Structure 1
Amino acid sequence: MTQPASEAPQAPTPPAEAPPATKGGGRRPALGLHADVRNLSLLGVLAALVLVGGITQPDAFLDVSNLQLVLTQASVIGVVTVGMTFVITSGGIDLSVGAIVALASVWATTLATQEYGFTGILFTAVVVGVGCGLVNGVLIAYGGMVPFIATLAMLASARGLALYLTDGKTQIVTVNSVLDLGLPATYVLGIPPLVLVFAGVTVIGWLVLNRTTFGRRTVAVGGNAEAARLAGIDVRRQRLYLYLLSGLCCGIAAFMLIILSGSGQNTNGNLYELDAIAAAIIGGTLLSGGRGTIVGSVLGVLVFITIQNIFALNNLESAVQQIAKGAIIVAAVLVQRSTVRNGDG
């Protein structure tokens, strides 16, 4: 018996380019609620640290110059962390960010580069950062290398090249237009220029991750790369763009570090990769990918830098500081595992 036309089976609708469901079932309201709670918790931790600093060293910690120093120090690693958040959200990792910062800073402060002044130093730092990110992206996206191995190789290579360029020596910056940006005279309403750059990168990063197709694709690739591919997303190209973005952030951070220190050194960016990963994790970015938060990552950076500042003002050993940082990372990962089991992510 012939089936009526009105009851004929319809052709399946092609999948839209919306991100696939997240690993925990894609319950967006729960994700938003947990993100808000997590950010409020980090704000509470930050407030508690400020209270501790104010009690233990009231004159030194609450001094305006010290607070400006905390924000300035947070700015450099903060810019790197924004790029790292995108990479981790996509399910990747970048162990080379500290070495890229070092290489970009020394390449941008050679005598030949400084002859081109402010523009030459900034341009070189950004190009070196993006170039290293390009190598990482090509090896991972099109070479099929595991991100851990590819970026570990870049870490070793970039550190080695930075040492070769400097011959183990510190390269002093003599371009006044660069050095002047670190002086109080350039502060805007008491805010250092580096902090303003960090704020700008943070806002742009938040908008890109939360309000653009690029951000949705990043979350989709991290949540389920195969489902993202079936939905029409070019997963390899997306991963390439993400490592380019990470390299760009490293180049910007290198220029900021040049302003802050007035020099280029092969030891710059030491352990930045660990600090950036740790800040992103305690901020709520899933190490397995599929969820990322720029606001949480920034709060994570502020928590770590504030801890370092309090420990330094109280003359506590750096070993104790590292132990405290490790404990915070472990606690954050345990909280993540608990929320994932409960359906958050």
Structure 2
Amino acid sequence: MSFATSSHARSTVHNRPRRSVLKWLLDAGLRRNMGLIFALILLCVVGGLTAGERFADVNNMMTILRLAAVTGVVSIGATFVITIAGIDLSVGAILALAAVWATTLSGQMFAESTSWIFLPITAMAIGAAAGLVNGILIAYGKVVSFITTLAMMAAARGLAEIISDKKTQLISVDGFLQAIGGDLFGIPTIVLIFVLVAIGGWVLLNRTTFGRRTFAIGGNAEAARLAGIKVERHTMIVYALAGLCAGIGAFMLMARTTTGSATHGTGLELDVIAAVVIGGTLLTGGRGSIFGTVLGVLIFSTLTNIFALNNLSLSVQLVAKGAIIVIAVLIQRQLAIRQSRT
């Protein structure tokens, strides 16, 4: 290559327009999730009109984010599971098991004598282990994910009740409550954890080989196997990741409630699946969106907050959530039909 050619190549690289921040955001999924963003803005307008300053108050905004944080973290893990065309009904029970196991009297005594970090490590380890069991049974045992996670939901909840003797365990480790249950720079720590997990999940799904394999398996598992992807091992890891996120959610909920209880996470799996589906992740697999999942969680938590501020019944709230889920699935179906025709 001549000097002139080399200089021309270097000048071409230097003169190539850099991607703007707006373009980067659009590539990150902003354009694809404009409908969700509009829905969230519309909900905020409704909240402002019906609840006034009570809704717009900064403390109320933080309440919404606190409400979204635990569900959001667990939903990040569930996004990976649903992207590979799986399902996990056990995340709520795994969260309860992790919370109860971490807050046993012996566990808290050990944390007080060593470090409060023992509590979140225990919760994450239990969550990941339970998720790993799910993954092994599904990937290598060839048990349908619905049946496997349904069985884990019952077993984990039952084990949590046995360990706790159906009693609520109070947390006495001050270091843990101050670090995880407190604020950092005026923002609740659990909200910051949610943000970090969401960013990590987005990078893992969209910018790594692991993420590309996740999409490939969800799109066509047999084709992914023929392409050299170890489908069974990857599936196992994905379920372990979902369990890990449930474990993270467990110690976040422990800090928020200052307790560990076998009732923690009751019904959480339905909220998680709803948020993931609302966010645009296909139940049939092959397409997933962490950004969309975060928006889905925020939509539901904002809706719950508006209902609470206006003293509306839980029954009406459940009807509204059900309607939103059905509408989201219908929209997904229409988009899938259009894509198949193009």
- Do they fold alike, i.e. is TM over 0.5? yes
Residues 74 and 249 in structure 2, CA contact (< 8 A), matched pair in contact too: yes
What displacement does 1:289 show? 0.2
Flag structure 2 segments of 5+ consecutive residues without an equivalent.
1-25
CA distance in 2: counterparts of 1:248 and 1:34, whole angstroms = 25
The one-letter code of the counterpart of 1:125 is A
Once the two structures are superposed, residues 218-248 of structure 1 have per-residue CA deviations (whole angstroms, 9 ceiling, x without a partner) of 0000000000000000000000000010011
Residues 35 and 284 in structure 1, CA contact (< 8 A), matched pair in contact too: no
The one-letter code of the counterpart of 2:156 is A
| More displaced stretch, 64-73 vs 217-226 | 64-73
CA distance in 1: counterparts of 2:52 and 2:183, whole angstroms = 24
List aligned pairs for 1:264-343, cutoff 5 A. 264-343=260-339
* Matched residue, 1:123: 121
Q: 1:134 aligns with which of 132, 135, 140?
A: 132
Aligned residue for 1:93, secondary structure, equals coil
Flag structure 1 segments of 5+ consecutive residues without an equivalent.
1-31
List aligned pairs for 1:140-219, cutoff 5 A. 140-181=138-179, 186-219=182-215
CA distance in 1: counterparts of 2:199 and 2:28, whole angstroms = 21
The one-letter code of the counterpart of 1:212 is T
What displacement does 1:123 show? 1.6
* Matched residue, 1:54: 48
CA distance in 2: counterparts of 1:108 and 1:273, whole angstroms = 21
Aligned residue for 1:342, secondary structure, equals helix
The one-letter code of the counterpart of 2:107 is T
Once the two structures are superposed, residues 239-281 of structure 1 have per-residue CA deviations (whole angstroms, 9 ceiling, x without a partner) of 0000010011011000000000000011101111111111111
* Matched residue, 1:13: none
CA distance in 2: counterparts of 1:33 and 1:282, whole angstroms = 20
Aligned-pair identity (%): 55
CA distance in 1: counterparts of 2:245 and 2:90, whole angstroms = 12
What displacement does 1:297 show? 0.3
The one-letter code of the counterpart of 2:179 is L
* Matched residue, 2:57: 63
Aligned residue for 1:285, secondary structure, equals coil
What displacement does 1:116 show? 2.1
TM-score computed with the length of structure 2 as normaliser: 0.89
Q: 1:94 aligns with which of 68, 88, 93?
A: 88
What displacement does 1:33 show? 8.8
| More displaced stretch, 162-171 vs 226-235 | 162-171
List aligned pairs for 1:232-251, cutoff 5 A. 232-251=228-247
Residues 180 and 252 in structure 2, CA contact (< 8 A), matched pair in contact too: no
* Matched residue, 2:73: 79
Residues 107 and 124 in structure 1, CA contact (< 8 A), matched pair in contact too: yes
What displacement does 1:37 show? 4.3
TM-score computed with the length of structure 1 as normaliser: 0.88
Q: 1:111 aligns with which of 101, 105, 111?
A: 105
Q: How many residues align?
A: 312
What displacement does 1:181 show? 3.4
CA distance in 1: counterparts of 2:176 and 2:185, whole angstroms = 20
Residues 229 and 235 in structure 1, CA contact (< 8 A), matched pair in contact too: yes
What displacement does 1:38 show? 4.2
Once the two structures are superposed, residues 90-130 of structure 1 have per-residue CA deviations (whole angstroms, 9 ceiling, x without a partner) of 11010000000000001111101001221221121011101
1:43 aligns with 2:41: no
Once the two structures are superposed, residues 145-202 of structure 1 have per-residue CA deviations (whole angstroms, 9 ceiling, x without a partner) of 000000000000001011111111110000001111366xx42332111111000000
Residues 133 and 246 in structure 1, CA contact (< 8 A), matched pair in contact too: yes
The one-letter code of the counterpart of 1:122 is P
Residues 96 and 273 in structure 1, CA contact (< 8 A), matched pair in contact too: yes
What displacement does 1:63 show? 1.4
Aligned residue for 1:174, secondary structure, equals coil
Once the two structures are superposed, residues 287-337 of structure 1 have per-residue CA deviations (whole angstroms, 9 ceiling, x without a partner) of 000000000000000000000011011110000000000000000000000
| More displaced stretch, 307-316 vs 118-127 | 118-127
CA distance in 2: counterparts of 1:320 and 1:35, whole angstroms = 32
Aligned residue for 1:116, secondary structure, equals helix
**Closer, same or farther in 2 for the Cα pair 1:35/1:343, shift >3 Å?**
farther
| C-alpha RMSD of the superposition | 1.6
Residues 117 and 176 in structure 2, CA contact (< 8 A), matched pair in contact too: no
